[in-house]
Amino acid sequence: MVRIITRPLLSVGHCTQLVQLRAVTPVPFPLPISLASLPLLSFPSHRALFSTTTIAPTLSSAAERVKMSSEGAAVKRQRSNKDVPYNLIYWPGIPGRGEFIRLTLEEAGAEYVDTAQVEGGIDEVMAYVKGEKPDDKTNPPIFAPPILKHGDLVISQTPNILLYLGPRLGLVPGVEDDPDALYKVNELALTALDGLSNEPHDCHHPIASELYYEDQKEEAKRKVEHYVKTRLPKFLGYFERVLNSKASGEGPYLYAGKLSYADLVLFQCLDGLKFMFPKAMAKLNKEGKHSKLFELYDAVGQRPKIKEYLGGPRRQKYSSGLYRYYEEFDIEG
Amino acid sequence: MVRIITRPLLSVGHCTQLVQLRAVTPVPFPLPISLASLPLLSFPSHRALFSTTTIAPTLSSAAERVKMSSEGAAVKRQRSNKDVPYNLIYWPGIPGRGEFIRLTLEEAGAEYVDTAQVEGGIDEVMAYVKGEKPDDKTNPPIFAPPILKHGDLVISQTPNILLYLGPRLGLVPGVEDDPDALYKVNELALTALDGLSNEPHDCHHPIASELYYEDQKEEAKRKVEHYVKTRLPKFLGYFERVLNSKASGEGPYLYAGKLSYADLVLFQCLDGLKFMFPKAMAKLNKEGKHSKLFELYDAVGQRPKIKEYLGGPRRQKYSSGLYRYYEEFDIEG
């Protein structure tokens, strides 16, 4: 586990870049306060297109089309503007909420472009955040990244993007055998995001996401104590119950004995929590009450494509995003 | 607007019913702290089944089956265990998150049973919260209400239930003409729920939902000030932009010129916010910057089935749930 102490970055009193960004945009926007003090990555643009698979020359495979038709979407469409790579539009320099999308794309070996890895990619992010894009008849303005562009489609909201990608990428049980699987997987993903991603975020920003952490440290301390002692065990206990339920099936995964995108979401949540609350997570692991949950974590981390991704250059280090390490947060609970 | 001051209810230091409920359950559960001091409703059980339509003798109509097949779900099933009314499982005595589901069912004239209106309905809620239900091979345990049971299917998470109901009830543009409409509607609903439902909830519970409001009043005061001045105008501004976008189409609704469940979600958010922050909402209305948003509110409220529902006995009054009136919250911003 790589740990980066981010407090020094956050103790900057004013943030020139943020102020500039706010000055040029006519609408309020939810730029993470901490981004302003991060250096932007500068990768050569030829590194922008990723694919971890070697067997899919086209995205419009029969399996893909079956999945599209199983969404009721593409039965009529033999050719589509969606025969192109996925495009993830997200802030550079943090795993953040974009990471849930990345893990899904990586596990599936999908081809995708990631603004976080493209020189000048932040201009693309800002065009959406400022409301300059999308500007067409079918896509509403977006509120915040992550954003997925796929052909003519532009959508935001992490669970919504996962909902779109999951069936297309084979990360939901097939609709022919299990028509309602998508709602079970979506339910599990939403609950993990609520309790193990949004609530940890609110631990360092309990009053307002636009204020610095330093401006809400007292409230954060109180929230963290409650989160680590009460909410974290409650959510881990819930997912342990899910893993022990009949509906989880055989094996280490949450639903129907198969890997779904909900498992990838839960993996990333646990990984972030291990970074943010190492003592508390170690204690919970040692207690043995959540053994299936930690087995799921290990199983996902050992999947070949995920393992390669986690050890490779595209996986970004935790810093001052969603999951943060502050020494004062590192309590046992 | 009916306003109920709920502070006296919340100032009870200990909550016998809550303690009893916690004593009998082996797992932690998220019972709203305020419920314990609310009298349970006692309606005759024959009032449990609602339908506002007179033209649908069976739920398995052709239109319904088309909608089911457009989800890719029911092409093979001529008969289904889903030829039954919907069953909403939610706490009695508060509109809460159940209200988003109710408005969707009411607008569609769907037949449904609501535990909040059934004598002893809370026992059903508690069976799910305690993990006694569901207990089968296809439905994972649920974390918290609202819960929808439909035939063999049991799902939770407000946006997930709406996602299931929306296409079935004709509250998403047809998949044949607009294959990706569901993702646009889901995105808008998720954003409204984030900023105009979950954040207002966190205004009175910034530290922990298990603690009394009285135990986090100082933090709440600070959060409310920020919410009313910054977050509320930001989210209203976003939805005003959506309503002014090309993708909203003609008329008062958010997407493609047609009523979708996202409009119902936004209506309920605005209604709750008008109850919670009357001065701030009146000021925002008077300023005229969000005129399309307030037009949407009026248009939804005037839809015949919604209007009848809002004036009828099934619409529950705001009290100590998601949207609360506290005098100290009632600032102009």
The whole-angstrom distance between A10's CA and the closest CA on chain B is: 20
Class of residue A75 by CB neighbours under 10 A (exposed 0-12, middle 13-18, buried 19+) = middle
**Residue of chain B whose Cα is closest to the Cα of A163:** B183
Q: Are A283 and A273 in contact (CB under 8 A)?
A: no
pLDDT score recorded for residue B331: 97
pLDDT single digits (tens) B212-261: 999 999 999 999 999 999 999 999 999 999 999 999 999 999 999 999 99
For A14-28, A263-277, B281-295, B319-333, which range has the lowest pLDDT when averaged over its residues? A14-28
Interface confidence: ipTM more than 0.95? no
What is the CATH number that goes with domain B181-329?
A: 1.20.1050.10
Q: Residue A20: count other Cβ atoms within 10 Å of its Cβ.
A: 11
Q: Which of A175, A207, A235 sits opposite B73 (nearest CB)?
A: A175
Alpha-carbon distance values, B277 to A188, B3, B302 (Å): 33, 11, 22
pLDDT at A79: 57
**pLDDT over threshold 90, residue A262:** yes
What is the reported pLDDT for A31?
A: 40
Residue B148 forms beta bridges with which residues? B88, B155
Count of helices and strands (H, E) across chain A: 14, 5
**Kind of pairing between the strands at B86-89 and A86-89:** unpaired
Query: Would you call B137 and A230 a contact, using CB atoms and an 8 Å cutoff?
Result: no
Which H/E stretch holds residue B66? helix B62-70
* Burial category of B197 from C-beta neighbours within 10 Å (exposed 0-12, middle 13-18, buried 19 and up): buried
Task: Write down the pLDDT at residue B80.
Answer: 76
pLDDT in tens, B97-131: 999 999 999 999 999 999 999 999 999 999 999 99
Most B CBs within 10 Å, among A238, A244, A284, to test the B interface = A238
Boundaries of every domain in chain B: 7-168, 181-329
Structure tokens at A253: 């995964």
State yes or no: pLDDT of B293 exceeds 50. Answer: yes
User: Which two three-digit tokens encode residue A220?
Assistant: 């954060």
Distance CA B186, CA B171 (A): 11
* CATH T-level assignment (fold) for domain A7-168: Glutaredoxin (3.40.30)
Total beta-carbon pairs less than 8 A apart between chain A and chain B: 186
Which chain B residue's Cα is nearest to A223?
Answer: B207
pLDDT mean across residues, chain A: 83
Angle at B325 between CA B101 and CA B94, to 5 degrees: 30
Percent of chain A at pLDDT > 70 equals 76
| Predicted confidence (pLDDT) per residue in A153-180, tens digit | 999 999 999 999 999 999 999 999 999 9
**Chain B residue closest in CA terms to A178:** B73
Contacts of A191 in chain B (CB under 8 A): 143, 156-157
CA distance B180 to chain A (A): 7
Question: Are B249 and B258 contacting, i.e. CB atoms less than 8 angstroms apart?
Answer: yes
Contact A267, A301 (CB under 8 A): yes
Judged against a pLDDT cut of 60, whether residue A86 lies above it is answered with yes
Q: Taking a C-beta distance cutoff of 8 angstroms, is the pair B207, A206 a contact?
A: yes
Q: What is the pLDDT of residues B194-209, one digit of tens each?
A: 999 999 999 999 999 9
